[in-house]
Amino acid sequence: MVAIAVNVNGKDIEAEVDGRVLLVEFLRETLRLTGTHVGCDTAQCGACVVHLDGRAVKSCNVLAAQAHGSTVRTIEGLAQGELHPVQKAFSTHHGLQCGFCTPGMIMTAVDIIRRHPDPDEAVVREQLEGNLCRCTGYENIVTAVLAAAAEMRSS
């Protein structure tokens, strides 16, 4: 067992975990934060994306012990009183259907906009390559990310 201390969505957490437990398992099974989804377990689909110290990471590819001393933000911690502009844009522009990939897509989109405040369509498409969606065909997702970036620049 490994003792870890991590800040998750603004809350300090101390826990003991098996050294082989993945961050996604810790979030879902220990903390019951089930908004982060498990899709492929091989870091291919992006359903499990969370922010680790402000950067988007695939939490199925990170051990919980590696998050010791870090800050983690999940989809549950994204909205602060009201929906985040990216969440609003996904809803407004129909950037979701079944919802399975949506948390990972949104967390990735927030990171894209952080790194590229005024992205064009090519940048968004390139940056979303690690996130798979089987429902929407990506057009509405890209539109949502571009709209959210514009909204965030104007506010």
How far apart, in whole angstroms, are the C-alpha atoms of residue 64 and residue 19?
A: 8
Q: With beta carbons less than 8 A apart as the criterion, state whether 64 and 22 touch.
A: yes
Residues 24 and 65 both lie in one domain: yes
User: Any idea what the CATH number is for the domain that residue 69 is in?
Assistant: 3.10.20.30
- The pLDDT, as a whole number, for residue 149 is 98
Instruction: Note whether residue 97 is domain-resident.
Output: yes
In a domain, 80, yes or no: no
C-alpha 138 chain-centroid distance: 17
The residue type at 131: N
Backbone angles phi and psi of 152, in degrees to 5: -70, -30
Number of domains observed in the structure of the chain: 2
Clarify whether residues 58 and 95 are in a common domain: no
Distances (CA, A) of 46 to 15, 36, 128, 148: 26, 10, 9, 20
Structural domain of 27: 2-75
98 and 57 together in one domain: no
Q: How confident is the model at residue 99 (pLDDT cuts 50, 70, 90)?
A: confident
- pLDDT, position 41: 79
Residue 28: inside a domain: yes
* Whether residue 19 is found in the same domain as residue 63: yes
Q: Is residue 44 over pLDDT 90? A: no
CATH number at residue 113: 1.10.150.120
